[in-house]
């Protein structure tokens, strides 16, 4: 009886894990991956901009666009922005902390105030707890305040996991280096 009970509990846990994994993977496959493969031959329009709103540092001059706009990165890679829900992208290297991008038409842009009484949240973020932010792991960030500015760290500001990793890679002192992140993840639980 005891062995059978343990077997049933183990089987129940395994089934629950499989159901959760399928509940996450299947919607992603059918709504994003398969749709991308099916619509890969669809038309697109360019979002190259000129004039006062243009960004001369961008290869196309564009700093924003919507569904179907072509984006050319600094290393000359071109791709089509796809967002069927009315979202838009925005990036201006001269002002990287300002963003009027929005995920979909009915949500406020990133630079707009979120109103919890009218704006609803749908979905669950399954990966956010692994992201390093200054308020999550302040000890990692405090060491790299006011670092020497470089092309990868304009202004010498360490504000997120990317800029933290760049600063750590530049740190050749004892106890420095990118291994600090690996050590953090080994010991944070």
pLDDT at 42: 43
Give the whole-angstrom CA distance, residue 181 versus residue 165. 8
88: helix, strand or coil: strand
Terminal Cα distance for the chain, rounded:
36
pLDDT at 88: 93
Residues in the chain with pLDDT values less than 50:
40-57, 59
Give the whole-angstrom CA distance, residue 106 versus residue 92. 23
Give the whole-angstrom CA distance, residue 77 versus residue 61. 14
pLDDT at 36: 54
Q: Tell me the CA distances in angstroms from 60 to 51, 71, 152, 164, 184, one per residue in order.
A: 12, 7, 21, 29, 40
- The alpha carbon of residue 149 and the mean position of all alpha carbons in its chain are separated, in whole angstroms, by 24
pLDDT at 34: 65
């Amino acid at each position: 009886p005891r062995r059978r009970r343990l077997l049933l509990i183990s089987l129940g846990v395994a089934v629950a894990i499989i159901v959760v994994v399928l509940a996450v993977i299947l919607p992603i496959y059918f709504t994003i991956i398969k749709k991308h493969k099916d619509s890969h031959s669809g038309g697109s329009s360019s979002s190259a901009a000129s004039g006062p709103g243009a960004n001369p540092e961008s290869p196309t001059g564009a700093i924003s666009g919507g569904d179907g706009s072509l984006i050319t990165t600094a290393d000359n890679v071109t791709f089509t922005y796809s967002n069927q829900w009315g979202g838009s992208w925005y990036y201006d290297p001269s002002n990287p902390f300002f963003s009027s991008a929005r995920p979909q038409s009915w949500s406020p842009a990133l630079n707009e105030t979120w109103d919890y009484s009218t704006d609803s949240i749908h979905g669950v973020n399954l990966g956010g707890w692994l992201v390093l932010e200054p308020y999550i792991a302040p000890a990692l960030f405090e060491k790299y305040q006011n670092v020497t500015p470089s092309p990868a760290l304009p202004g010498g500001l360490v504000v997120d996991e990317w800029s933290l990793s760049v600063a750590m890679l530049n740190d050749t002192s004892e106890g420095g280096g990118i291994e600090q992140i690996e050590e953090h993840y080994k010991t944070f639980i």
